[in-house]
Amino acid sequence: MMLSDRTRLLSPPGTSKMRVIANELKAAGVDVVNFAAGELDIDTSPTVKSAAKAAIDAGHNIYTPTLGLPGLRKLVAELVSRQCGTPYQDTEAGVTAGAKQALFNAALVLVNPGDEVIIPQPYWVTFPSQVELAGGRPVFIDTRRSGYRLLAADVERAVTAKTKAIVINTPNNPTGTIYDADELRRVADLALQHDFWIIFDECYASLVRSGHEHSNIVALRPEVKDRVVVVNSFSKSQALTGWRVGYVAAPAPVVKAMENLQGHTTSNPNSVAQYAVMAALREGMAPFVDAANRLLDDRLQHALHIVHEMAGIKAAPAEGAFYLFLDIQSKLGKSFRGQQVKDVDALCELALAHANVAVVSGAAFGDPTGIRVSYAIKSEDVTKGLLRLQRFFAEIE
């Protein structure tokens, strides 16, 4: 079978691969702790569910405008205006089938073949693939040496005449690190100076651990608004990942180009989900988010207590989202019960086979020395799974 050349750029995301394997083992009766999921384990809010049922009963089961219902676009524009501290019009906002589509739209309408796009690593698994599918070339910045934080000085060194954009994801997936406000301001200044785009993925902006604060780059430097594509989602903060509702805010010509593109791909996002999200925006999402953050704060504290007892294991700053990113470099090249731990993928396979713990290999995120652990699972499973990992790591020598 002759497939297109672009299919060579595609491989299954490492996050979904481990999630599927863990679920299959669970279905077979194996007591697996699944740290691979990238979603909250709590149900979505009663407001959202009730509004969805009402939308179905009201017959809202037909096409909507491509980038979402006018009322929803207006509410999204108002939301982004509050978050950014600068006004956004309805024509500068759009609704997509999850944030992933918003990011893919951005890549296709901004990047030409041969353009370079700067991507800090570790990165969310799909960023490089979207750039490559648009014909661009990812240029990676390794943040490990700076404590998993993005430094403007590193961005400046990566900028060339071919630089078209930088993708910034904060709070970061997979590390959970929040990028510093001063560094973001400097990156904004670089975008203005060198005339490149900032694709600002803040899907975890609402899920910030106690004592930390997330900063939107437009709020920090309003002058850069015309060079920024803000991407966000209701999936994480409202626990409705399966509903596929994301959104984008950008200059009106960019949003219009996305509308044209989306009209030829998926057309509108799920109509019922749009009505449900409108209800959440009107009634206020803060109580649900606050409750989720209190739960996650508690789980993180218990998780860190165990991680700090793991000899030779360090964690990235867990300041937002719901991930722990563990540096397991000290275990690579050693042996577990006579089997060589040749790389991070082998370590993950051994952990699943012998400790019944599913984690995501850092290789999927461009970091072959780390693993991602989600603590957005039942508290007792967080404890049980990390204790299993602790015993597993202790046997690698």
State the distance between the two ends of the chain, measured CA to CA, in whole angstroms. 46
CATH topology of domain 62-283: Aspartate Aminotransferase; domain 2 (3.40.640)
Looking at the chain, the whole-number percentage of residues with pLDDT higher than 70 is 98
Inform me whether the pLDDT recorded for 269 exceeds 80: yes
d(CA 43, CA 35): 18
User: What DSSP letter does each residue of 30-92 carry, written as one string?
Assistant: ---EE----S-SSPPPHHHHHHHHHHHHTT--S---TT--HHHHHHHHHHHHHHHTS---GGG
Residue 4 confidence (pLDDT): 82
Per-residue pLDDT at 27 = 78
| Whether the predicted pLDDT of 15 surpasses 70 | no
Looking at residue 1, its pLDDT comes to 66
Check residue 223 and give its pLDDT: 96
Read off the tokens for 240.
Answer: 């409705």
Question: 106: closest CA among 123, 90, 126?
Answer: 126
Question: Given this model, what pLDDT does residue 236 score?
Answer: 86
Give the model's confidence band at 45: pLDDT under 50 very low, under 70 low, under 90 confident, else very high.
Answer: confident
pTM: 0.92
Tell me the pLDDT tens digit for each residue of 185-206.
Answer: 999 999 999 999 999 999 999 9
8 A C-beta contact, residue 218 and residue 246: no
Query: For 299-348, how does the pLDDT look when each residue is reduced to its tens digit (9 = 90+)?
Result: 999 999 999 999 999 999 999 999 999 999 999 999 999 999 999 999 99
Alpha carbon 91 to chain centroid distance?
25
Average pLDDT over residues 154-175: 97
More confident residue, 238 or 19: 238
251 pLDDT band (50/70/90 cuts)?
very high
Average pLDDT for residues 52-74, to the nearest whole number? 95
> At residue 26, does pLDDT exceed 90?
no
Q: What are phi and psi of 288, to 5 degrees?
A: -65, -45
d(CA 185, CA 191): 10
pLDDT at position 39 is 83
Distance CA 357, CA 65 (A): 44
- What letters, b where the CB count within 10 A reaches 16 and e where it falls short, cover 121-155? bbbbbbbbbbbbbbebebbbbebbeeebbbbbebb
What is the CATH topology of the domain spanning 5-43+287-394?
A: Aspartate Aminotransferase, domain 1 (3.90.1150)
pLDDT score at 129: 93
In this predicted model, what pLDDT tens digit does every residue of 85-142 receive, in sequence order?
Answer: 999 999 999 999 999 999 999 999 999 999 999 999 999 999 999 999 999 999 999 9
Identify the CA nearest to 327 among candidates 362, 351, 364: 362
Residue 365 near residue 121 (C-beta atoms within 8 A):
yes
Inter-CA distances, 364 with 14, 22, 277, 299, Å: 5, 17, 31, 25
pLDDT value of residue 347: 95
* Residue 200, both tokens: 């600002």
Q: Where in the chain is the domain with CATH 3.90.1150.10?
A: 5-43+287-394
Alpha-carbon span 27 to 42, nearest angstrom: 20
Phi/psi region, residue 180 (left: phi>0; alpha: psi -120 to 50; beta: rest), is beta
**Residue 14: per-residue pLDDT:** 60
Q: Cβ neighbours of residue 231 under 8 Å, at least 6 residues apart?
A: 99, 102, 103, 106, 199, 200, 201, 202, 203, 246, 247, 248
- Find out whether 57 and 77 touch, Cβ atoms under 8 Å: no
Nearest Cα residue to 44 out of 227, 389, 279, 392 = 279
CA dihedral 301, 305, 311, 314 (to 10 degrees): 20
Number of H helices, E strands in the chain: 13, 15
The amino acid occupying position 383 is T
Report the pLDDT value the prediction gives residue 171, as an integer from 0 to 100: 97
Pairing outcome for strands 33-34 and 357-358: parallel
Helix (H) or strand (E) holding 269: none
Q: Sorting pLDDT into bands at 50, 70 and 90, what band is 240?
A: confident
Residue 12 confidence class, pLDDT cut points 50, 70, 90: low
Query: Who wins on pLDDT, 243 or 167?
Result: 167
Which of 166-170, 247-251, 282-286 bottoms out in mean pLDDT, i.e. has the lowest? 282-286
* Residue 352 reports pLDDT greater than 90: yes
Phi first, then psi, for residue 38 (nearest 5°) are: -110, 50
Give the pLDDT of residue 112: 96
Residues of the chain with CATH 3.40.640.10: 62-283
Residue 194 CB coordination number (10 Å)? 13
Cβ distance 51 to 278 under 8 Å? yes
- Alpha carbon separation from 154 to 18, 46, 191, 251 (Å, rounded): 32, 45, 13, 27
Per-residue pLDDT, 239? 83
154-167: average pLDDT: 98
Q: What is the mean pLDDT of the chain?
A: 93
